[in-house]
Amino acid sequence: MSPIEDKELIRDRIDIVELINAYTRLKRAGARYKGLCPFHKEKTPSFTVDPESKMWHCFGCGAGGDMYTFIEKIENVEFPEAMQILARRAGVELKPFREQDQGRGKERQLIKRINDLAVRYFGAVLHNQAAGAPFMEYIEKRGLPQDLVREYRLGAAPPSWDGIIKTFAKKNISAQDLEKAGLVVHSQGGRRYARFRNRLIFPLTNVVGEVVGFAGRAMGDDMPKYLNTPETALFEKSRMLYNMDRARKNIEDGAVILVEGYMDVLGLARAGIRNAAASMGTALTPQQVDILRRYCSKVYLAYDSDLAGDAAAMRGINLLIERGFDIRVITMPQGQDPDDLVRQGGAEAFRERMAAAAGYFEHFLEHCMRGRDSGDAAALRDIILEMAALIRKSPNEILQDQQIKTLAQTLGVDEPRVRSVMAQAEKRKPGAGPAQPEMAVRILSGGAVAEKKVIQYLFSDKARAAKILERLEASDFSDRKMRALFKYCAQYRERNGTLDPGVFLNETHPRDMVTIISGVTLTQPDDAENPDAFLDALLGKLRSDVKRRRISELKSLIVKAENEGDRQSVERYARELVKLKQEL
């Protein structure tokens, strides 16, 4: 059998409830099972297992996935080892895996050699006068000097489907070996072709500077915009922080600056700021936090989105809090990322914002208070409860006391009253459910909640899914992960007609999507009396949110155009603004 067939057979044979119950006690809760999460401390169960879809999710810490991700996390092993563990439990023979594991050291050495050669290959394409011209044009547009391009060994993948295969064949490296390194894709029809085509290439290095994989940025409209090497014997995205090998050598004030993407790192490096590392567009993982802890005790977060409105980012910050990091949040100008900021204002503009960076507690308190009436008793209580979830994350009791004092002073509430409200929430009966959801969930905006519920409907019913696909596009989603998930789901459902979460996971292996899918599909659905009317309301809200975002954008464009004396643009933007306001 093929590895995919082995995986499906193992999944079919194993009862996920029985499997997980060996690690944490589960109790039936309707059609599902609940228990205390084995991955974080909690007093009230927020860990859910669904025997039908064979998925699990913790609504406290945000971890989730299938039986394979559970074993990877609980046993601290990589996917091949997790599959071995489950295969033994299921009584499935994995001869191909055993043969592979015996030669695992040789395979790692082979991939290292291929990666080193690939760096030269992609570099040669970039520096070729004809083939590299469009890539160099983009690099110049982004303001990257050639010495930085050489230092970071940027390269380019040509549009050719088989160029890398032909080039490496001359070096006696087969397409099968390139596939092991993640540079070649093997189609269902048996054809092998280059994974990276017409993309600017960023070599990905581990903390000692070895190239373990690659990332490619599309030059055209190809999706995804950024494509990474898949998991190999050398590369595991959850354990990677881009540029950490350089950042650790340039630690300033015991701190690392965390940014989202590769261009942010390069932009800061161009400005002489060398202690930046990127989480590669994903929320921080426990493994990435462990790497950070080896080299620094302070982290500046310089993400281009509102952290307090991003549940995935909040889960990463919770990990940093639990590990005792000194966390500062750098606020970016509206619509800008770190690269934009240093291109316009240089290193001084960024360092000014670093100096003004608020502590994480003050940042999230300000966000929590935004739009709420501080004179309203119910609003004050909600703020206290939401911030309490953040306060309890810290292992430092002295820091907790300081934060409670700050909370009381900011809200104008007596400190004993704040402590009383927090204590009452802690004493809630276990049977009543969690006293307060995690702040990562609580602070989701109404739009984010609506987006999540729309995805739930996409999984639930063919007719409703058709309605969603007709009325929405991926660009209608404000959350980038919901946007990516919607695109995955839409394409899959159009091809297959149905969308079973378990089969979807098993067939496509979207490793970065597993936790999101489990969280969406295992969320308790609303008890709407009229589900179709409820869905219509959700779709209406999403479309209204799109218009509101455009209205906000138009207001900024009008101000900019007025400052530039561009009356024609001001009038055009104003007409569109009036039209959108009338439609709301």
User: pLDDT, tens digit, for every residue of 105-119?
Assistant: 578 889 999 999 999
> What's the mean per-residue pLDDT of the chain?
85
Q: Of residues 312 and 88, which shows the higher confidence score?
A: 88
Candidates 200, 320, 114; CA nearest to 329 is 320
CB 403 within 8 A of CB 394: yes
> How long, in residues, is the chain?
584
The listed range with the strongest mean pLDDT (77-86, 121-130, 377-386) is: 121-130
**Residue extents of the structural domains in the chain:** 3-99, 103-235, 244-364, 374-442, 445-584
CATH number of 103-235: 3.90.980.10
Higher-scoring residue by pLDDT: 14, 295: 14
Q: What is the largest CA-CA distance in the chain?
A: 76
The mean pLDDT value for 100-107 works out to: 60
- How far is Cα 16 from Cα 578, in angstroms, rounded to an integer? 54
Asked if 421 and 381 count as a contact pair (C-beta separation under 8 A), the reply is yes
Same fold, 244-364 and 445-584: no
Q: Within a 13 Å sphere around the CA of 225, how many CA atoms are in the beta-carbon half?
A: 8
What does the block give as tokens for 216?
Answer: 């490619």
CA 239/CA 97 separation, integer angstroms: 23
Q: Tell me: pLDDT of 308 over 90.
A: no
At 75, phi and psi to the nearest 5? Answer: -100, -5
d(CA 556, CA 413): 37
Domain 3-99: give its CATH superfamily: Zinc finger, CHC2-typedomain (3.90.580.10)
Instruction: Report yes or no: 187 and 175 within 8 Å, Cβ to Cβ.
Output: no
Whether residue 68 contacts residue 450, with contact meaning beta carbons closer than 8 Å, is answered with no
| pTM, full prediction | 0.58
Answer yes or no: are the C-beta atoms of 325 and 299 closer than 8 Å: yes
Residues 6+ apart with CB under 8 A from 505: 55, 65, 66, 514, 517
Q: What band does 99 get if pLDDT is binned at 50, 70 and 90?
A: very low
* DSSP H or E stretch at residue 47: strand 47-50
List CB contacts of 127: < 8 A, sequence separation 6 or more: none
Comparing CA positions, the residue from 203, 271, 274 lying closest to residue 242 is 203
Q: What is the dihedral of CA 225, 231, 234, 239, to 10 degrees?
A: 80
Query: Above 80 in pLDDT, residue 148?
Result: yes
Chain centre distance of CA 380: 31
Starting from the edge strand earliest in sequence, which strands make up the sheet with 358-359, in order?
Answer: 276-278, 255-259, 298-301, 326-329, 358-359
CB 327 within 8 A of CB 299: yes
Mean pLDDT lowest among 207-211, 339-343, 558-562: 207-211
Q: Which fold does the domain 445-584 belong to in CATH? A: DNAb Helicase; Chain A (1.10.860)
Are 200 and 156 in contact, with CB atoms under 8 Å apart? yes
Give, for 263, the enclosing helix (H) or strand (E).
helix 262-270
Residue in 326, 323, 313, 322 with CA at minimum distance from that of residue 367:
313
91 by Cβ neighbours in 10 Å (0-12 / 13-18 / 19+) ranks as exposed
CA pair distance 203, 265, nearest whole angstrom: 13
Q: Which residue do the tokens 């499935």 mark?
A: 92
Higher pLDDT, 215 or 544: 215
Say what the pLDDT of residue 503 is: 62
pLDDT of residue 440: 36
Instruction: Report the chain's terminal Cα–Cα distance, integer Å.
Output: 56
Q: Which position has the token pair 């940014």?
A: 259
Residue 348 has pLDDT above 90, yes or no: yes
Query: Residue 388's closest CA among 378, 403, 377?
Result: 403
Residue 13's H or E segment, with its range, is helix 3-13
Question: Topology of 244-364 in CATH?
Answer: Dna Topoisomerase Vi A Subunit; Chain: A, domain 2 (3.40.1360)
Please give the structure tokens belonging to residue 386.
């939401």
* pLDDT of 458 strictly over 50: yes
Tokens representing 252 are 């300033």
- Of 41-45, 177-181, 441-445, 516-520, the least confident: 441-445
**Cβ-based neighbours of 511, under 8 Å, separated by 6 or more:** 231, 237
Q: How far apart are CA 416 and CA 370, in angstroms?
A: 24
Which pLDDT band holds residue 436 (cuts at 50, 70, 90)?
Answer: very low
Spatial contact of 212 and 206, defined as CB atoms under 8 Å apart: yes
Q: Which residues of 492-506 are buried (b: 16+ CB within 10 A; e: fewer)?
A: bbeeeeebebbebbb
Q: What's the token pair of residue 44?
A: 């009230």
How would residue 522 be classed by pLDDT, with cut points 50, 70 and 90?
confident
